[in-house]
Structure 1
Amino acid sequence: MARQDFNDLLWFLAVAEERSFTRAAAKLGITQSTLSHTIKRLETRMGIRLLTRTTRSVAPTDAGERLRLSLSPRVAEIEAEIAALMAYRDKPAGNVRLTLSDHALDSVVWPKLRPVLTDYPDIKLEFSIDNGLRNIVEDGFDAGIRLGESVEKDMIAVRIGPDWRLVAVASPSYLATHPAPVHPHDLVRHTCINMRQARAGGLYAWEFEKDGQELRVRVDGQLTFNASFAMVDAALNGYGVAYLPEDLVDRHVDAGDLTVLLDDWSPRFPGYYIYYPSRRQNLPSFKIIVDALRHVNG
C-alpha cells in the first residue's frame, strides 16, 4: 500500500470505532460524503468489504474488525510517542551527554549540576571524562566543556567558570635533592610528571608567560598521566614536578606538602566554556543545563 494511503486507514479506523459516518466525519473535520467516498476507495483498492452499512448503523465486517484490531493499538502507540516527543518542547526531560576533563567536572560542572538532578528528575546526565578535544557532533555528544581557547569556532560557546592558571609544583622531598628551577627552561633538567593529550596523542608542552614573553617547554620524566588527580598524588609523593590547575593544589601548598615553582611565569587565562551546535539550544532540558552552568561574575 502506498504511503499516502495511510490516511485512508486512519479514516476507516474512525468510522469503525464510532460506528457512524456522521460522528466520524465530525471527529475528522471532513464532510460525510468525502469520508464515504474514501472508505469505498479503500475497499476497492483492497478488494475486501470492510464495513456493513444500513440506514441506521455501520459495523465492521469480519475483515474490517480484524483490520480495526490491528490498527487501533499501533495508532495509539504512535500517538502516545508523538505526545511524549512534543512534551520535550515544554517539559525538561531527556538525556544530555557531555565530554569534559576530570578537572572541569570536579571544579565547575558537578557542583553546579547537582541541584539540577534534584529539581528535574526527568533529566539524565552522562559525563565522558576525556582531556582531549572531541568532535561532539561526530561522537554523539550534546556539548563539550573545554577552555575558551580550545572551543571550535563554529560552535555556540557560553562561559561557565572563572579565569584560572596552571602552576608548577613539587614536594619538599623532591626539592631536597633537586634545586628549584628559576626559569622554565630549567625544567628540562628536572624529573617532570607529564600529561598526555588523549585525542592528539602527544604530550602537553607546558606553557609559560612573563612580561609578554611566551614559552612552551617539553619536559621528561618517569610518569605520564591523562588525568589531573593522579598527577597531584604523584607530586605529593615526590615523583617530580607537575604542572596543574592551581585550585587542585592550593590546600596542599597551604599545608606545606607542595611548593609552587616559577610562580611569576604562570599567567591567568580564560576558564571553561560549554560549547554546542545551535540545534541544541532550543531543547528545554539542554537550556536548563546551560543556564545552571553559566558563569556569573562577582
Structure 2
Amino acid sequence: MNRDDLIDLNAFVAVAEEGSFTRAATRLGTSQPALSNTLRRLEARLGVRLLTRTTRSVTLTPAGEEFLQGLKPAFDAIDLSLGAIGSLRKSPKGKIRITAPRHAAVSLLWPMLGSFVKDYPDIEVDVNIDAAARDLAGDRFDAGIRLGELVAQNMVAVRIGPDLRLAIVASPGYVAQHGVPATPHDLVQHSCINFRLPASGEFYAWQFKREEQDVKVRVSGQLSFNDPDMILAAALDGHGIACLIEDHAQAMIRDGRLVRFLEDWCPLFPGYHIYYQTQKNNSAAFRILIDRLRFRSRQSERKPPQ
C-alpha cells in the first residue's frame, strides 16, 4: 500500500464517521471539494460505490458499511501504536477529546485545565459540553465525564470529584405564598420546575431517601428545561420549586435568595467520574490528564471484568 492509498482510506473513514464532508474536511484540515474528489478517486479505483450523497447528508452504501468495518480495526491499531510511541517522548504530545456536562466541566475540569495546558504545551484538550451520554467510540471521544452511577460497567471509571447531594429549593417569595412541602409526597401539590433528561427526553423523577425509605416523585409545573442553569434562574424568579445539585445552588442558599427544604431526604450519591475504554487510551498525555483529574482524598477506580 502506498502513501496515497493510506491518505484516501483515512479520508473515507473520516467521512463515514462524521457523516458529513464539511465536518470531515475540518477534522482532516482540508477543503470539502478536495475531500470529495479524494472519495470519488477511491471509489473509481475500487470499482464500487461507498457513499450515497444527497444535498443534506452522506450515508454509507452496504459496500461502504462492510469496507468501514474492515478498516476500523487497522486504524484503531495505528492509533494505539501512535499513542505508544508518543509515550516515549520527554514532552508528552497529543490531542484529547472529552465530553462532559456543563456542571462537571465548570466545577472540576476547568479548574485543572488552566495549569495543565501551561505545564504541557504540546497537549491539546478539546472539551465538548453535552449533558447527554455520548458513544465514545462512535463520536471519537477519548473519555467522558458522568455521575458515577451512570457510567457503563464495561468502562474504566476514575473518580474526579466528591460525593454530591441534591438540594430542593425555592425563592423566599414562592415560600411566602405557597409554603414548603413537609415530605417529598407533598411536592405534587406544588408548582415544580421539571428537568428534561437530555438522552431520553423524559422528565427526571425526583428521588429521595431517608433511613430505609426510598421515594420517587413525578412533579409537575408550568416550566421545564434541559439545562440546570435555566432551572436555577426560574427558581430565583419565584416560578416554583427546583431540584438541583447542592453546590449549584449553594451560594444562593447562603445569601438567602433561595430557601432549602427536605434536606434530610437528600443523601449523598456518587460524584463525577471520568470514564474511558481501556484498549483505547494508553498515551502518556492521556495518563497525565487522568492523574491530574483524579480525586485525591477518596480515590476510586473501577475496571471492567476480565
Normalising by structure 1, we get a TM-score of: 0.69
Deviation at 1:113?
Answer: 2.0
Once the two structures are superposed, the pairs formed by residues 10-89 of structure 1 within 5 Å of their partners are: 86-87=85-86, 89=88
Any conservation in 1 of the 2:94–2:124 contact (CA below 8 Å)?
A: yes
1:276, 1:101 → 2: CA distance?
A: 16
Note closer, same or farther for the CA distance 1:244–1:83 as it changes in structure 2 (3 Å cut).
closer
Structure 2: segments with no counterpart, 5+ residues: 3-80, 299-306
Once the two structures are superposed, the pairs formed by residues 60-209 of structure 1 within 5 Å of their partners are: 86-87=85-86, 89-90=88-89, 91-209=91-209
- Whether 2:231 is the aligned partner of 1:231: answer yes
2:241, 2:174 → 1: CA distance?
A: 8
What is the letter of the counterpart of residue 170 of structure 2? A
Deviation at 1:138?
Answer: 1.8
Normalising by structure 2, we get a TM-score of: 0.67
Q: List per-residue Cα deviations over 1:256-295 (Å, max 9, x = no partner).
A: 1101111110000111110000023311111111011000
Partner of residue 289, structure 2:
289
Partner of residue 242, structure 1:
242
Structure 1: segments with no counterpart, 5+ residues: 4-81
1:83, 1:128 → 2: CA distance?
A: 23
Any conservation in 2 of the 1:193–1:241 contact (CA below 8 Å)?
A: yes
Q: How many residues align?
A: 219
Note closer, same or farther for the CA distance 1:84–1:169 as it changes in structure 2 (3 Å cut).
closer
Any conservation in 2 of the 1:156–1:276 contact (CA below 8 Å)?
A: yes
1:202, 1:89 → 2: CA distance?
A: 47
What is the letter of the counterpart of residue 251 of structure 1? A
Any conservation in 2 of the 1:99–1:145 contact (CA below 8 Å)?
A: yes
Partner of residue 266, structure 2:
266
Deviation at 1:83?
Answer: 9.3
Secondary structure of 2:197's counterpart equals coil
What is the letter of the counterpart of residue 108 of structure 2? V
What is the letter of the counterpart of residue 227 of structure 2? A
Any conservation in 2 of the 1:89–1:283 contact (CA below 8 Å)?
A: no
Any conservation in 2 of the 1:160–1:295 contact (CA below 8 Å)?
A: yes
Q: List per-residue Cα deviations over 1:103-139 (Å, max 9, x = no partner).
A: 1111111112221111112222222222222221222
Partner of residue 19, structure 1:
none
Give the superposed CA RMSD.
2.1
Note closer, same or farther for the CA distance 1:122–1:187 as it changes in structure 2 (3 Å cut).
same
1:206, 1:251 → 2: CA distance?
A: 22
Partner of residue 48, structure 1:
none
Note closer, same or farther for the CA distance 1:83–1:228 as it changes in structure 2 (3 Å cut).
closer
Give the structure with higher Rg (CA).
1
2:83, 2:254 → 1: CA distance?
A: 53
1:126, 1:118 → 2: CA distance?
A: 15
Provide the identity percentage: 45
Q: Which moved more, 1:207-216 or 1:277-286?
A: 277-286
Any conservation in 1 of the 2:86–2:283 contact (CA below 8 Å)?
A: no
Secondary structure of 1:125's counterpart equals strand
Secondary structure of 1:188's counterpart equals helix
1:87, 1:101 → 2: CA distance?
A: 29
1:132, 1:257 → 2: CA distance?
A: 30
1:126, 1:271 → 2: CA distance?
A: 22
Secondary structure of 2:242's counterpart equals strand
Q: List per-residue Cα deviations over 1:56-94 (Å, max 9, x = no partner).
A: xxxxxxxxxxxxxxxxxxxxxxxxxx9999445434222
Any conservation in 2 of the 1:163–1:270 contact (CA below 8 Å)?
A: yes
Secondary structure of 1:152's counterpart equals coil
- Whether 2:225 is the aligned partner of 1:257: answer no
1:92, 1:223 → 2: CA distance?
A: 48
